[in-house]
Structure 1
């Protein structure tokens, strides 16, 4: 396209600088832009305010679609660009075998998420960090154990967050933190929800997780003034100061470990 909307144009410019590669941009739907990162296996779908999500499998592409809403670009541009950089394999590599896994406190986990994760930070109950040469480079946050009724003494835990430091690709980091937790708590299974805006779950399947279901898209309300997302309260639902967006849902996945 010759002329792009300002926020799309600024995102594309930032992407070119960050990735140093060629892009192909098309408007494929009203207020929705497809950005192909040449030489990679991802395809970015950029949605201007209020544009409906597209089920990209309907277009027959073999590239992984990444869904990005305009409000995320406006509120967390550096985090967004750095995450895409890592996703296409252009980040700095650190190997988990060179790292040490250890428990960390709630304050550390929350602070790390706030600096390095696109979603809202979660405290969880159990928190683990990965340290490279004394520096915290990744964290994993878990829920408390839930006793399941289908088997006696069967405990299920949820992996609530995995987050690595911006610009770093931690090779084997997810597995190392997961193993540290398993060694300490010996769970029967670990469940997690994978953000379908960013993943199809295939990488989790390679780590032994099984796809259980895809949840319905979640609704958010975005403040038109500051681009912050708000919960669906009455004052928000009835206000012209907000617009509604949906994500692509989440993929529920479970890794079974020990059965009774």
Structure 2
């Protein structure tokens, strides 16, 4: 399932420990000869996701021998200054709500721009040209830094500013959450879907006490609702008779 022409190149995956980034990691492991991972600690309220990262890396390697051979180094960067600057519902204990500007207060200004800039700096040093992220403009909360136009503009800026030819891959950009579940199924079969359910973390509140059919979370925050709805639609699609 590797794409022609890039099979022998390396990639860096923005890997948070959530559903989307885990699916993106599997996507990269199918396509690139060497895959490294990068996580960010920015004081996120749901930093339990960082605890899931080593568990998920080991489990993905255990699912597929080829993936195990391609999975390289892991990196975690301290970006606590981003959390200190943002003061959002993702970085402090406040209720999640919409703000006057039309964006939810879970929006961390500049987060993906900062993430991808640091990822490119690391990729530069590690000799990696491909950078994979889970940004999506189909099922999202209106975050402007998740849009395809933003990512394309940033790719141009990074290439100009670092004199490199980075390629920013966003395999989830134009698919919804049900299709993200389906992509995991195509990449790693039921075992990968089960792994996403059991081990990834998406809940904005960092809640891992209750186990739902779609995984762990509070069940009420926007991230949980999106994940639950996508899983229900994905499971329903499996029950439809094929034509």
What TM-score do the two structures reach when normalised by structure 2?
0.26
More helix, by proportion: 2
Larger radius of gyration: 1
Indicate the structure whose relative CO is greater, using CA pairs within 8 Å and at least 6 residues apart: 2
Q: Which has the higher strand share?
A: 1
TM-score by length of 1: 0.24
